[in-house]
């Protein structure tokens, strides 16, 4: 008997969490990871100055840090990483299946953000931050051709990675269809669409809504456009161009707030 999709997704998330580790860096990202009871931390590397600044979080986590010389920082980070003297190695967070986040109880109708091959970790980090601020249930990307959980993503997310579910699923079109079967209205953002997001959001305030955003330049793929319920645009006052995908996500999330 074939396993349901949600079972496969949950098994994949657990397998990934067991087999991989990620290095998070920067005082804010490290502090939030230390304070997250769901984070399995393998190693913490800090300078004396950073250790003093993170003393409360380190004590609460129960982790014994490795003190490192700031001139020869011991964590295996890219030379351009702004680590502020703090880095930790941890297992990626496992948020469960699509159903776990899409049907999670909350205040008002749920909101989701779907990303169609958005690969820039800084954009995804910023989107996670906006999703957390505006009360989204989760941000969902593709398993391939999307930004994985990295230190750069976590630093840009400014702590939101520890609180905002971030799933990467195998097939975006299948995910959209699953959400439609759950009662979601799935809206694809497209600058050339006829319908205004503001109008559609106002007419569907009490309905579960998923917003789908495409990568910089290419936008939504054709298959994605064909699968969503409707293409909508963010109305602009001037013919200047288009928003960065993370800015567009913030504006769109604000437009579909259900409070």
Give the DSSP H/E element, type plus range, for residue 204.
none
Residues 128 and 245 occupy one common structural domain: yes
- 14 pLDDT higher than 90: no
Residues 129 and 248 occupy one common structural domain: yes
Percent of the chain with pLDDT over 90: 80
Torsion sign (Cα): 221, 226, 228, 229: positive
Residue 204 lies in a domain: yes
Residues 121 and 163 occupy one common structural domain: yes
- 20 pLDDT higher than 90: no
Average pLDDT score, the chain: 90
Mean pLDDT of 60-82: 94
Residue 10 lies in a domain: no
Residues 46 and 141 occupy one common structural domain: no
Give, in order, the Cα–Cα distances in Å from 152 to each of 24, 124, 177, 227. 8, 10, 31, 32
Domain, as residue range, for 136: 98-255
- Residue 8: its pLDDT value, please? 47
- Residue 107: its pLDDT value, please? 82
| CATH number of the structural domain spanning residue 79 | 3.30.1330.30
Torsion of the alpha carbons at 19, 23, 28 and 30, rounded to the nearest 10: 60
230-233 and 195-196 beta bridge pairing: parallel
Confidence of residue 9 (pLDDT cuts 50, 70, 90): very low
- Residue 238: its pLDDT value, please? 63
Mean pLDDT of 35-63: 97
Residue 8 lies in a domain: no
Mean pLDDT of 177-189: 98
Residues 47 and 126 occupy one common structural domain: no
Residues 113 and 201 occupy one common structural domain: yes
Report whether 114 contacts 120 (CB < 8 A).
no
Mean pLDDT of 143-169: 93
Residues 73 and 185 occupy one common structural domain: no
Which pTM was predicted?
A: 0.87
Residue 63 structure tokens = 């982790």
Mean pLDDT of 68-83: 93
- 13 pLDDT higher than 70: no
Residue 5 lies in a domain: no
Mean pLDDT of 146-170: 93
- 38 pLDDT higher than 70: yes
- 82 pLDDT higher than 80: yes
Residues 47 and 144 occupy one common structural domain: no
- Residue 240: its pLDDT value, please? 58
Residues 133 and 241 occupy one common structural domain: yes
- Residue 80: its pLDDT value, please? 87
Residue 205 lies in a domain: yes
Give, in order, the Cα–Cα distances in Å from 108 to each of 3, 100, 191, 256. 32, 17, 28, 11
Using one digit for the tens of pLDDT, what is the confidence trace for 86-124? Answer: 999 999 998 999 999 999 988 889 999 999 999 999 999
Collapsing DSSP to helix, strand or coil, 25 comes out as strand
Which one of 90, 118, 138 terminates a domain?
90
Residue 212 lies in a domain: yes
Percent of the chain with pLDDT over 70: 90
DSSP 8-state secondary structure symbol assigned to residue 112: E
Residues 82 and 131 occupy one common structural domain: no
| CATH number of the structural domain spanning residue 126 | 3.40.1280.10
Confidence of residue 79 (pLDDT cuts 50, 70, 90): confident
Residues 85 and 113 occupy one common structural domain: no
Total domain count, the chain:
2
Residues 134 and 215 occupy one common structural domain: yes
Residue 12 lies in a domain: no
Residue 16 lies in a domain: no
- Residue 1: its pLDDT value, please? 57
Higher-pLDDT residue of 82 and 238 is 82
């Amino acid at each position: 008997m074939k396993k349901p999709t949600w079972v496969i997704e949950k098994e994949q998330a657990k397998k990934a969490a067991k087999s991989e580790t990620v290095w998070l860096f920067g005082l804010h990202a490290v502090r939030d990871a230390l304070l997250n009871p769901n984070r399995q931390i393998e190693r913490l590397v800090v300078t004396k100055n950073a250790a003093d600044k993170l003393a409360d979080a380190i004590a609460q986590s129960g982790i014994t840090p490795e003190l490192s010389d700031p001139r020869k920082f011991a964590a295996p980070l890219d030379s351009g990483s702004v680590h502020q003297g703090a880095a930790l190695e941890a297992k990626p967070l496992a948020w469960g299946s699509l159903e776990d986040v899409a049907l999670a109880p909350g205040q008002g109708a749920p909101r989701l953000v779907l990303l169609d091959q958005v690969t820039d970790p800084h954009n995804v980090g910023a989107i996670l931050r906006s999703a957390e601020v505006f009360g989204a249930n989760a941000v969902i990307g593709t398993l391939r051709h999307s930004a994985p959980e990295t230190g750069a993503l976590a630093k840009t997310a400014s702590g939101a990675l520890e609180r905002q579910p971030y799933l990467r699923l195998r097939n975006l079109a299948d995910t959209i269809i699953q959400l439609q079967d759950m009662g979601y209205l799935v809206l694809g953002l497209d600058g050339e669409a006829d319908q205004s997001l503001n109008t559609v959001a106002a007419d569907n305030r009490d309905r579960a809504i998923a917003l789908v955003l495409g990568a910089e330049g290419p936008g939504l793929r054709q298959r994605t456009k064909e699968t969503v319920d409707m293409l909508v645009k963010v109305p602009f006052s001037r013919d200047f161009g288009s928003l960065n995908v993370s800015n567009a996500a913030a504006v769109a999330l604000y437009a579909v707030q259900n409070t």
